[in-house]
Structure 1
Amino acid sequence: MKRVVLAVAVLAAVLVVPVATAAEPVRFATFNASLNRATQGKLLADLSEPDDPQARKVAEVVQRVRPDVLLLNEFDYVEGGAAVDAFRANYLARGQRGADPIDYPYVYIGPVNTGVPSGMDFDNDGTIGGGGDAFGFGAFPGQYGMAVLSKYPIGQARTFQRFRWIDMPGARLPDDPATPRPADWYSPEEQRSLRLSSKSHWDLPIHVGDKTVHFLTSHPTPPSFDGSEDRNGLRNQDEIRFWADYVTPSRADYIYDDAGTTGGLAPGARFVIAGDQNSDPLDGDSNGARQILYAPRVIDPLPGSAGAVEASAAQGGANEHQLGDPFFDTADFTDEAPGNIRVDYVLPSAPLIPLRSGVFWPASGDELARLNDASDHHLVWTDLIP
């Protein structure tokens, strides 16, 4: 297989930074844990007892990797935090199969757009209602939500759940191929209502000693499950572009948060962009991840795993024709298409110093390979000196 690596120029310098330092490294991680359920309340019910097999595997993965700051994608939102509290108490606080318990005293959860009714026909099927007409696809409000767990204090969050897609300059609004008018898949009324984020975008200041690291978390829509208008593919690219603009002072003036504050991240602020971006820089249906990989000051630590290489060769299919190196894959998808690809990212900014990184995807000879089916995604981590 042809091997192609995307990396930023500063990576060469990062690789020769001595590990010896007075500061303690902080492990940032993202994990699409697939802790979503088909019906509202089911996740909370599953987590209220300590015996859900999948949740036990997810917890063990976390306990084995032991991140200090962790984003969980696809964790159904329950107002008040009962579901994440149950996961901490019944799973993370209990050692799983010999792993040590792990404690996260700080948590951030918030509402997301998935499953929130819009009252409009966003999917143009002639009826109003259902997941396709929600502000983000979902069977109920909060499905496929997000949660952040941290060993360090979390400051005042900026959220961008209600930022409208049309308010992004040059928004890639989809075109209805059945009409001669451009960018008209959504009516003018729908465009004035439709939100950019399919879940939400969060800027969470993590206070590590006297340093603040902005944890920029999101989960853009998959670039599929649509038609020739490519509404999900286009939205995926603009959801990713949001962070690229947010960390670029000259391009962030248009941004406003849910409290009405405008502008992006302060120049020079430390940040980590994290989440399941549903985008591979070289393969699959969206290459929008390049927008954050090439954003100012972003460093790509290039995490990888032996297990991903083994899986790609064993499964074949679409993997045989990919451009990217399977070492960097983070998700095990359908072998026909798109195959196994890199969609989950932990991308620090200079002057943060990445020391090491990885993808938790044990090879078949490893006893921990039994955890590979915890989710179709694998936990990605990076150790940083703030």
Structure 2
Amino acid sequence: MAEPLRIATYDAGLRRDGPGLLLRDITLAEDQATAAIAMIAALRADILLLTGMDQDQQGASLRALAEALAARGVHYPHLVPLAGNRGVETGLDLDGDGRSGGPGDAQGWGRFTGAGGIALLSRYPVDPAGLIDMSSLLWRDLPGAEMPQKDGQAFPSDAAQAVQRLSSSGHYAIPVRTPKGRITLLAFAATPPVFDGPEDANGMRNADEIRLWDALLRGALDQPPPPAPRVLLGNANLDPYDGEGRRQVIADLLAGPLWQDTGPAAPTPVAEDPSHVGPAAQDTAFWRPQAEGGPGGLRVDYVLPERGITVVNSGVLVDVPGATGSGATGSGAGADVAARASTHRPVWIEIELPPPLR
């Protein structure tokens, strides 16, 4: 039997406070960047979507990352940097603080264009002509969009809502030609449903970023749905059981008719919280525990194959095999590699594609 296709997503913490800093840190083998590279190498995915990775116009940081991985014996000849909406200036006050020009006034929160973008690393060729970029869709143009209001008025203003894009980072349909057949990846990273006020702007936006996929596949947008078979993956920043946000949105997506939720899980949970409802082994991100004012562990990263795709295996990579240390919140030389890299952990699936239609 042929080897299954391993597809993964990971927010590897590869974001910095200014342009060029990530390239510097990868090149100089800075500790966090090196830990992230070690996690990616241990994951050994055939196709990997990185979220929260700074992008530059020349793709230099992504190439440097690929070179560092190649030095570890993991080769990704096909790279797709996707800068998206983070840090794209609007000239307007988009966060309602009465000022413009700040990171919250960009199309997606960011201090510079390309901050915390998306990147695809693949062993197999990507069809650039077939790539669909939905990142310029205005939020208010999503069918059924719920726009924030304050005191009965558009928040933060009518002018802001007239230019506000839905994607805080980006939404993409990316066709990949694998030896087992062509597959379309539906890739995204949604805004956290927090860091706002009673108008719940980020909570609404997060929910609608997830709902975009349903609109696309129903044909409700101004373009045909991308071809099947498809895999939806990325950082939804929403847990179906715990944490902030409109949890029913992701619960409905997971339980709906389009996608298979295999419940990828770690062999042993990284951290457990007795106040949480969801299974701890499925958590993919780990912040301060609730007792310390944080949300604790949450399931926010997803790889969801379309129904009809055979899933062979799935899981959450807790750490580099053989690494030891102080768990989800450790730091320094004695901590595990995963915690030094990111608050997130990679989630992966192994699949067999259905035979192509003839």
Assess same fold via TM > 0.5.
Answer: yes
Instruction: Write the mapping of 1:192-211 to structure 2, written as runs, cut at 5 A.
Output: 192-209=162-179, 211=181
Partner of 2:231: 272
Matching residue within 75, 84, 88 for 1:116: 88
Secondary structure of 2:230's aligned partner? strand
Opposite residue 68 of structure 1, the aligned amino acid is D
Q: 1:292 to 1:265 in 2, by over 3 A?
A: farther
Inter-partner Cα distance in structure 1 for 2:96 and 2:3: 53
Partner of 1:367: 323
Q: 1:77 to 1:197 in 2, by over 3 A?
A: same
Once the 2 structures are TM-superposed, how far is the Cα of residue 297 of structure 1 from its aligned partner?
2.6
Indicate whether 1:102 and 2:74 are aligned: yes
Secondary structure of 1:347's aligned partner? strand
Deviations 1:225-250 (A, max 9, x none): 00011100110000011113223x3x
Once the 2 structures are TM-superposed, how far is the Cα of residue 109 of structure 1 from its aligned partner?
1.2
Once the 2 structures are TM-superposed, how far is the Cα of residue 123 of structure 1 from its aligned partner?
1.3
Inter-partner Cα distance in structure 2 for 1:169 and 1:344: 25
Matching residue within 126, 131, 137 for 1:157: 131
Alignment gaps of 5+ in structure 1: 1-21, 96-100, 257-261, 313-318
Indicate whether 1:61 and 2:27 are aligned: no
How many residues get paired?
335
Inter-partner Cα distance in structure 1 for 2:55 and 2:132: 18
Opposite residue 281 of structure 1, the aligned amino acid is P
Once the 2 structures are TM-superposed, how far is the Cα of residue 88 of structure 1 from its aligned partner?
1.1
Partner of 1:259: none
Opposite residue 259 of structure 2, the aligned amino acid is V
Q: TM-score under structure 1 normalisation?
A: 0.83
1:216 and 1:271 in contact (8 A); partners too: yes
Partner of 1:93: 70
Partner of 1:357: 314
Indicate whether 1:45 and 2:24 are aligned: yes
Matching residue within 219, 229, 239 for 2:199: 229
Inter-partner Cα distance in structure 2 for 1:358 and 1:338: 22
2:7 and 2:303 in contact (8 A); partners too: yes
Of the structure 1 ranges 319-328 and 145-154, higher mean CA displacement relative to structure 2 is found in 319-328
RMSD: 1.7
Opposite residue 44 of structure 1, the aligned amino acid is L
Inter-partner Cα distance in structure 2 for 1:30 and 1:117: 28
2:83 and 2:115 in contact (8 A); partners too: no
Indicate whether 1:239 and 2:209 are aligned: yes
Q: 1:172 to 1:94 in 2, by over 3 A?
A: same
Once the 2 structures are TM-superposed, how far is the Cα of residue 36 of structure 1 from its aligned partner?
0.3
Deviations 1:304-333 (A, max 9, x none): 11342x522xxxxxx221111111111111
Matching residue within 239, 245, 261 for 1:300: 261
Inter-partner Cα distance in structure 2 for 1:349 and 1:72: 20
Deviations 1:19-49 (A, max 9, x none): xxx4431000000000000111111121223
2:55 and 2:81 in contact (8 A); partners too: yes
Inter-partner Cα distance in structure 1 for 2:6 and 2:59: 24
Deviations 1:266-313 (A, max 9, x none): 4xx1111111110001111121322431343300111111342x522x
Matching residue within 265, 280, 283 for 1:326: 280
Inter-partner Cα distance in structure 2 for 1:359 and 1:213: 22
Indicate whether 1:378 and 2:345 are aligned: yes
2:53 and 2:118 in contact (8 A); partners too: yes
Write out the 4+ residue segments of structure 1 that deviate beyond 6 Å after TM superposition: none
Inter-partner Cα distance in structure 1 for 2:323 and 2:23: 30
Instruction: Write the mapping of 1:133-144 to structure 2, written as runs, cut at 5 A.
Output: 133-144=105-116
Inter-partner Cα distance in structure 1 for 2:351 and 2:113: 35
Deviations 1:122-180 (A, max 9, x none): 1121111111111000111111111000011111311111110000111111111xx23
Partner of 2:157: 187
Opposite residue 260 of structure 2, the aligned amino acid is I
Opposite residue 346 of structure 2, the aligned amino acid is L
Alignment gaps of 5+ in structure 2: 326-335, 354-358
Opposite residue 176 of structure 2, the aligned amino acid is I
Secondary structure of 1:34's aligned partner? coil
Q: TM-score under structure 2 normalisation?
A: 0.89
Inter-partner Cα distance in structure 1 for 2:137 and 2:224: 12
Opposite residue 42 of structure 1, the aligned amino acid is L
Opposite residue 203 of structure 1, the aligned amino acid is A
Secondary structure of 1:383's aligned partner? strand
Inter-partner Cα distance in structure 1 for 2:288 and 2:187: 26
